[in-house]
Chain A
Amino acid sequence: MQPNIIHRNNVTITGKGKQPLIFAHGFGCDQKMWRFIVPAFEDRYQVILFDYVGSGCSDTTAYNAERYRSLRGYVQDVLDICSALNLRDAIFVGHSVSSMIGMYAAIAAPQYFSKLIMVGPSPCYLADGDYNGGFTRSDVDDLFVTMDKNYIGWANFLAPALMGTPQQPELGDELVQSFCSSDPIIARRFAEVTFLSDCRPDLHRSTVPTLVMQCRDDIVAPVSVGEYLSQHLPNSTYRLLNATGHCPHVSAPGETIEHIRSFLHTEAVMT
């Protein structure tokens, strides 16, 4: 085990089982987002949580602009963790942009992964011809501008949180912690990598059995995106959830857990 990777990506391991189950957070979040889901799997799996470099409580000094200028740098974070923990046949659950990160990781090093579970995935956020990604270029630019214009304000806003905010009784420690080292500059760059990536040309290279979980009324990944994925991603199972929004693992944990369980169970029976 390489302690530097464990520290760098703030890797947390829980659970009593043997088979590794990795939960990967999306853009603007961190591992705490999985808090309602994790307990349901701790009995049967080795649950692995982490923060990408620059998110959550990762070591931001490890951020390298050259490495993280494309999704591949984030893929390397996942591969580094798999290698450090010597994982095999892991199930990778990725939210949002992490779905594609997981797919690339499984293409690059198939020996680590047995299944992929994608929560609110999108292979491309920008609309392009017949493809409705949900965003126009001006929508995305608007997000970048919003982040740019708020950057100074938010950096100041964040500073006291970094030094330890006075306890607020109605808040758990976890929420305060989740933003303990989110770096606004890195977040801004991550936004660009996330929203400008086009993974569609690589979908056909995926071989691992994959569950695509699509929510209703998701502003980030509309239903058309989930349907596109299910048609173009080999070996995939498509499920349209009743949950709405982009974060079913927070807003509808029960339904999210059910779908993950049933997919893992079906796959286990088939193989």
Chain B
Amino acid sequence: MTDYLNLAPFAFFSIDDHGKILAANEATCNLLGYAKEELVEHYISAYVSLGTRIFFQTHFFPMLLIRQVAKEVFITLSNRERQQIPVLLNAQRRMVNGRAEIVCGAMVIENRNKYENEIIAAKKYAEQALQENTELQQARQQLQQHAETLDAQILLLEQRNADLQQVNKALTHNMQEPLRKLMVLSSMLLREDSTTPGHLATHLERIAQVAQHTRDVVKQVQRFVQIDMQELNPQPVDLNTLVTAAAEKARAIQPAADITMHCSPLPVIMGFTDDLSFLFSELLHNAIKFRHPQRLLQLHISTVVSKDNKFRMLENRYRYTDFIRIRIQDNGTGIPEQYKDTIFQLFQKLNRGNDGLGLGLALCKKIIERHQGFITVDSQPDKGSEFCCHFPIA
């Protein structure tokens, strides 16, 4: 190194691609408080701040590889006393005898740095104010739009609710009642006239059966409609008690079924007891109904807290909050691929042969949505299914 460079009033040093110091001038030694032998052959990362070390790894070296040159890079050196020294660095990479050498010149900018910090602070403050102002204006605009949309939606919902009440009335009086009469009449005919010929008796029984089935459908549809009409007044619900009861109920329907059930401790959530009770009974009942004929049914209920987006409808809106996920896994027959997207729709039956009405899972979905949650399913044919109920928690 020439005397000029050795005695130059700025730190002048060279490093290789890994940051190993190849040479350093007097100013570098004085600045860092180390003798030349303590610097050369050691890594530059030992003499810079932690932030600068990461910046070197993630930005500085890759960029030098690409561009060969870096100008006006701000870094912080760290001297023997661990004092932080802000410097401005220029670097040039070149090949010397087949080896990469990065020549660096660094100027201490202690005073300029104070000034710059003030400018950056002021800039941030201005940017933040501007950002907040823009956001406020956008928010006000959005609020106005949302208020209008909301108003229109409330009107629509009011109308729908009134319609639903009419539908509900029609279901109760205009349909349930005639069906009940139909059943009573057919059973009276069967009872009163023991001489009814065999084929007529069969027809009468069939009428009674169809009437009964239609009545069940009407009842379920009624339940589906009624859920929307309930007053919103959530209560704390202990899912442990509720799921245990639901499991008992589901087992009682098919007492012969061989089941092992493992349930981890469940939380207390805010919700509607009857609806949640129906939800878990339905899911467990389904697991029993669709158990694999060749193996013992194993049910596994577990729970975990995980963050999910609170916004379910609006695009590009994100607010990740805690949801509790209750996962019900079984080793049953699984859901055939073609039904996966439709199982939560009304009147979708997986199996034409079973006695289900095709309303259960649609109801489950509706119940969870009433709790501001959502339901997902994952299934592998012949291996099993898992239904996950996601409920938001405060």
> Which A residues lie at the B interface, using CB under 8 A?
27-29, 64, 66-67, 70, 72-73, 75-76, 88, 104, 107-108, 110-111, 135, 139-150, 153-154, 157, 160-161, 165, 168, 170-171, 175-176, 178-179, 205, 219-220, 246-247
Known contacts: A70-B320, A139-B49, A220-B54. The answer to whether A107 contacts B63 by CB under 8 A is: no
CA distance A27 to B59 in the complex (A): 11
Q: Does B52 contact A (CB under 8 A)?
A: yes
When distances are taken between beta carbons in the complex, the residues of chain B under 8 Å from A88 are 380
What are the residues of chain A within 8 A of B65 when measuring CB–CB?
Answer: 171, 175
B318 at the interface (CB under 8 A from A): yes
Contacts of B68 in A (CB 8 A): 168
Tell me, in angstroms, the Cα distance from A146 to B56 when the chains sit together.
Answer: 10
**A269 vs B317: C-alpha distance in the bound complex, in angstroms?**
44
Known A-B contacts A143-B54, A145-B51; the reply to A150 vs B59 at CB < 8 A is yes
Q: How far is the CB of B20 from chain A (nearest CB, A)?
A: 13
CB of B67 closer than 8 Å to a CB of A: yes
- 27 A-B pairs within 8 Å (CB atoms) are namely A28-B54, A28-B57, A28-B58, A67-B318, A72-B320, A76-B309, A108-B307, A139-B50, A142-B49, A142-B50, A142-B76, A147-B55, A148-B120, A149-B74, A150-B55, A150-B59, A150-B73, A150-B74, A154-B59, A157-B67, A157-B70, A161-B66, A175-B62, A178-B62, A205-B304, A205-B306, A219-B45
User: How far apart are B216's CB and chain A's nearest CB, in angstroms?
Assistant: 34
Chain B interface size range: 35 or more
> Chain B 139-179 against A: per-residue CB contact (8 Å), 1 yes, 0 no?
00000000000000000000000000000000000000000
Bound CA span A108–B116, Å: 44
Say yes or no: B53 contacts A219, CB within 8 Å.
Answer: yes
User: What's the minimum C-beta distance from A48 to chain B, rounded to whole angstroms?
Assistant: 19
Determine if B286 is an interface residue (Cβ-Cβ < 8 Å): no
As a 0/1 sequence over residues 214 to 235 of chain B, the CB contacts with chain A under 8 angstroms (1 = contact) are 0000000000000000000000
Q: Which of these, B62, B73, B306, contacts A108 with CB under 8 Å?
A: B306
A179 touches B120 (CB 8 A): no
Q: Roughly how many angstroms separate A248 CA and B120 CA in the complex, as a whole number?
A: 36
- A165 contacts B66, CB within 8 Å? yes
In the assembled complex, B382 has its CB within 8 A of some CB on chain A: no
Contacts A66-B318, A142-B84, A179-B66 given; indicate if A149 touches B120 (C-beta within 8 A): yes
Q: Specify which chain A residues have a CB less than 8 angstroms from the CB of B95 in the assembled complex.
A: 170
B205 at the interface (CB under 8 A from A): no
Q: Which residues of A contact B75 (CB under 8 A)?
A: 146
A166 → chain B closest CB, angstroms: 10
Give, as a whole number of angstroms, the nearest-CB distance from A96 to chain B. Answer: 10
Query: Chain B residue with minimal CB distance to A72?
Result: B320
- Asked whether, in the complex, the Cβ of B66 is within 8 Å of the Cβ of A146, the reply is no
Chain A residue contacts of B354, Cβ below 8 A? none
Q: How far is the CB of B47 from chain A (nearest CB, A)?
A: 13
Q: When the two chains form the complex, which single residue of A64, A104, A178 contacts B318, counting CB atoms closer than 8 Å?
A: A64
**Which one of A70, A108, A143, A205 contacts B51 once the chains associate, using CB atoms below 8 Å?**
A143
B318 contact set on A, CB distance < 8 A: 64, 66-67, 73
